[in-house]
Structure 1
């Protein structure tokens, strides 16, 4: 029998990778993830994408998290917002000046995925509340962890309940289904300053000590549909 484990409280999409996202009331989801999520990235002349870390695919570009992005109902051409929330007229020119790099610009995803790991990230309020209590010196909300879905869980739900869902599937009213696979290993992005949230390195130290630096549930989309705020999530 399906078990209702929570209600979708907030939905987030990040049109430009590593920038602040936009809150949505509903959004379509398919094999790639939420429509428009990380569809664009800041790409340099070597083809590496702006991120909070350096890897073979990603280049650390400090300051991206202070910027915002939004698509609204369009998937072609996101708006880029400066640190004061103002729309940028020429994103490429702005990024070159802001990052002090002449080889960067917005790029739409092609054959190389912009995702770090899997398409959909879900975080429960039970886990988020635990982080707040464990790190009382930091300002904590879900923006630090960049989930697509913040799920309101019933009172008494234990923190990190997401771990119990790995390997299982969940369904929503629209028929959309998510298959939980693993959790995210957290990096300095969770501690970085962004509008309204100062630098908070203590968050990563607590996660490393108490939960192997992991937080959320990452999912594949096993059936397309709509995600809506207020919908119940049923664990199958």
Structure 2
């Protein structure tokens, strides 16, 4: 497969890890990924990061997905939080302590250890997203369940999980950005969890696990930094 594989339908950035993000018309992409993406996280006194799961590195903090984060002054500044009703909170740290019922949490900027679970860029197609919707009829599904950075609109008739065909390939996005597709993400219970207007449903992860070994999207590294805009062409080279 070579040539045009789709166009950028949506660009998503998540300033605070494990919260809802902001949809952007344009973003700058560096070797770390989208500028400001997951640059902050909710951290507790033990150094664990707020998440929807418990691991050696993460601590489950229910409710984070009902919040949204954004950069009101651009990604060079500190992120702000929106409460579940979409209202900006004046003091994110104080709000998080009340909201989570913990007095040891704060917004922490990334240090020497990356906040990313895996690779810096997640890309998902409308073909795969459409398959998930069809596999779980009656369950509201959109890309927010899978938290991609880039949603690519693929041509009609594109098979689901087409992202698998891109691994090991390089793509040019727009006029300058170049990325290399490496592998897919192994999905976890985060895909099932409620967020904003999306209800909890175990059917989402169950369907992906049965059809595709719980793997979904294309994770990429950045070969050549550059801007990305909605409507940009994505071309395998």
TM-score by length of 1: 0.98
Q: Distance in 2 between the 1:197 and 1:39 partners?
A: 25
- Alignment partner, residue 11 of structure 2: 11
SS in structure 1 at match of 2:205: helix
- Map residues 11-50 of structure 1 onto 2, 5 A cutoff: 11-50=11-50
Q: Distance in 2 between the 1:84 and 1:174 partners?
A: 38
Q: Distance in 2 between the 1:178 and 1:184 partners?
A: 16
- Alignment partner, residue 179 of structure 2: 178
How many residues are paired up? Answer: 236
- Map residues 158-177 of structure 1 onto 2, 5 A cutoff: 158-177=159-178
**Structure 2 unmatched runs, 5+:** none
Q: How far does the alpha carbon of each residue in 1:122-143 deviate from its partner, in whole angstroms, 9 at most, with x for none?
A: 0000000000111102101001
- Over 6 Å off, 4+ runs: none
Q: How far does the alpha carbon of each residue in 1:67-116 deviate from its partner, in whole angstroms, 9 at most, with x for none?
A: 00101424221111111111111111111111111110000111111111
Q: Is the 8 A contact 2:8 2:231 kept in 1?
A: yes
2:210 is the alignment partner of 1:209? yes
- Alignment partner, residue 124 of structure 2: 123
TM-score by length of 2: 0.97
- Map residues 1-236 of structure 1 onto 2, 5 A cutoff: 2-72=2-72, 73-236=74-237
Give RMSD over aligned pairs. 1.0
Q: Distance in 2 between the 1:116 and 1:44 partners?
A: 18
